[in-house]
Chains A and B, each alone.
Chain A
């Protein structure tokens, strides 16, 4: 479903991603872990061209993203993204946040979009918050709305960029439960996270990045019990 070949990215003189090659299958749930500054977020952001790769190719469902002929807006509609700091639109109600893109970008009728939004809100447990403004919500509630907003576009792929890092500890669980539910529904997902326990339980594959390299790619059981690289072993020692 996603094919990444020889992906590199440099900011000025710093090489943030060094020749990453991998592929993600349909329905696969990938957890990206590694020390900060290892390039996890940059890698994720390359997948919907929030960052433009310096070299290499990325194809999603057979569409080459860096090809100048590609309608990137269209590709992005099929890839949902959830940010560490939510980035809800503060001047819109929860309902408008969710229906904005389906109505304005995909041309779904307002009625249909609202029905769908209410359904998604029940799914993330916030059915009663439709008419609230984001400023009235807790962090965990905001992040669940952000997930619903992405899902409203009916994407094939969901990208999560440290979705629980900005949350108070007691709110982490409610968000992770929503993500876990999504994983079980068969969504293709890539999640940058520091929640090792969650990664172990929910992911099909762990990517361990360090200094811009994809150092290890393994099933959770194998990675957490028998890390192959010395660097990963040291990292796990520090976080577990």
Chain B
């Protein structure tokens, strides 16, 4: 056989393995989706069944929609009740899909959901990409501030630092306050924290949310602002060109007429009890607010661990293949692996993650589940780092080991798998453990695309409790314990590998 031929054909199985891994995505997709769907109340099988409508919502905005973390993590709220009423009257079955607010419009456009109800205001910008129903509720804006300030009018906010939730309708309102400086934050819980710590002077929040904020934080007060004329209220969003809009509008009109709408609103916006003056300790922390939420948060451990395992495994295999490319001496493979490492190390993981999750449906028409997108992004990224580590480990194995194996007639692949890798592994084990610990902690990043791992669950609880520290401290402790367990497992493995010394 041609010796050069041998050299190239040696790599064919490796390349095949790489392709197999890439093509495996759709196969393991549904399995991973299973974990994701725990969050979406899947009541039936698939959308192929007749008369089923999928509603997209971002359940971090009580009382409109939130995760009832104390009871099986079901999604509840005013929007949900209205949607249930309308769809059942129209003869549809309702399925709810949970996702981040920023992904809702994209989900409509890619057909992942049939309509969106998520306390969404009608704006000219949104009208360009989606169709809206008539509005079903008009929220009033309020000023939330510390009791000592208790701002009542817009004029008082001149010269003050005013917070608002990024992308919300209040965000636009806050921009129009004369003389006020703005600070935009991602979450209501963040606004509360900034208020409590004095970093912002006031927050513009809509009435229902403000009521809950004040209810959970005794140091804050709210004051209503006059209803503005041009406020269009909240409406249901649909893809363009659907006759559902007409049907829904008819039902909304009926609900307004027969009092059902007011009935549902009344249920969710009932008078809040005045916050009892709780005895609060250091930093205003009171872990009693987590009562009932702990099991919900703990379930995130499973998702976090599953995610870390899948991405670590994928990163390890792909990183190994890349490292073999790098030492293959075949120009094309070396160039590919080097360029790959350069790009994936040279761009932020968060950017890669967001790109993969949002661009995949548009580029490939594949509705990639959040957990799979996250595993892919983390695996691809981790592989770039690991390929260098593994390459270093392989190079560190005594050259004589290779010669001894060659002299015995051991074929290349067997030599690498049985002789070189086990020794390289011993050299790089500490570096591998570092990488896995980093993966475990960085997995908190994937909460941004709505994977319900630990961090996401902490955010959900922060939104539900309108308190910012307690849930964060709890997940910090959980992460720390997980890392401790991981490192001690690694130490045991290392001891096992070193038994030959």
Contact = CB atoms under 8 A, between A and B. Distances in A.
The answer to whether A and B come from one shared complex is yes
Interface of A: 48, 50, 68-69, 71-74, 76-77, 79-81, 83, 85, 87-92, 100-101, 104-105, 133-135, 146, 149-150, 153
B414 A104 contact: yes
A77 B409 contact: yes
A50 B4 CA distance: 16
B254 interface: no
Given A90-B500, A91-B500, A104-B414, A50 B406 contact: yes
B1 interface: yes
A68 B6 CA distance: 10
B346 interface: no
Closest 3 A-B residue pairs measured CB to CB? A87-B404, A77-B409, A87-B400
Interface stretch (B19-27, B257-265, B353-361, B415-423): B415-423
Interface in B375-423: 398, 400-401, 403-404, 406-411, 414, 418-419, 422-423
Interface in B455-501: 497, 499-501
B403 A87 contact: yes
A81 B401 CA distance: 13
B416 to A, nearest CB: 13
A101 B500 contact: no
B52 interface: no
Interface centre among A68, A85, A87 (most CB of B within 10 A): A87
Interface residues on B, range: 20 to 34
Contacts of A87: 398, 400-401, 403-404
A188 to B, nearest CB: 16
A217 B408 CA distance: 29
Contacts of A74: 409
Interface centre among A101, A146, A153 (most CB of B within 10 A): A101
B328 to A, nearest CB: 18
15 contacts: A48-B407, A68-B4, A73-B411, A76-B406, A76-B409, A81-B404, A83-B404, A87-B398, A89-B401, A91-B426, A100-B408, A104-B410, A105-B408, A135-B500, A146-B404
Nearest to A134: B500
Given A76-B406, A90-B500, A146-B404, 17 more contacts: A48-B407, A76-B407, A80-B407, A81-B404, A81-B407, A83-B403, A85-B400, A87-B398, A87-B401, A87-B404, A89-B419, A91-B500, A101-B408, A105-B408, A105-B409, A133-B500, A135-B501
Contacts of A146: 404
B2 interface: yes
A89 B501 CA distance: 12
Interface centre among B4, B401, B408, B497 (most CB of A within 10 A): B408
Contacts of B398: 87
Contact of A77 (B404, B408, B418, B423): B408
B3 interface: yes
B267 to A, nearest CB: 68
B2 A105 contact: no
Nearest to A72: B3
Contact of B407 (A50, A69, A134): A50
Contacts of B411: 73, 105
A79 B1 CA distance: 19
A113 to B, nearest CB: 13
Q: Classify the secondary structure of B's interface with A.
A: helix
A40 to B, nearest CB: 16
A153 B408 contact: yes
Contacts of B423: 90-91
Interface in B1-40: 1-4
A138 B110 CA distance: 69
Interface centre among B3, B4, B411, B497 (most CB of A within 10 A): B3
Interface string B321-344: 000000000000000000000000
B1 A69 contact: yes
A80 B403 CA distance: 12
A7 B400 CA distance: 24
Interface in B225-247: none
A50 B403 contact: yes
A88 B426 CA distance: 16
Contacts of B407: 48, 50, 76, 79-81, 150
Nearest to A97: B404
B500 A149 contact: no
Contacts of B404: 81, 83, 87-89, 146
A104 B401 CA distance: 16
Contacts of A134: 500
A50 B426 CA distance: 26
Nearest to A90: B500
Nearest to B400: A87
A88 B252 CA distance: 81
A74 B408 CA distance: 9
A68 B3 CA distance: 6
Interface in B44-96: none
A69 B2 contact: yes
Contact of B408 (A71, A72, A133, A149): A149
A220 B411 CA distance: 39
A201 B418 CA distance: 40
Contact of B410 (A71, A105, A150): A105
Nearest to B398: A87
B497 to A, nearest CB: 8
B409 A73 contact: yes
A74 B406 CA distance: 11
Contacts of B497: 91
B413 to A, nearest CB: 11
Nearest to B407: A81
B400 A83 contact: yes
B408 A150 contact: yes
A31 B410 CA distance: 27
B501 to A, nearest CB: 5
B221 to A, nearest CB: 69
A153 B500 contact: no
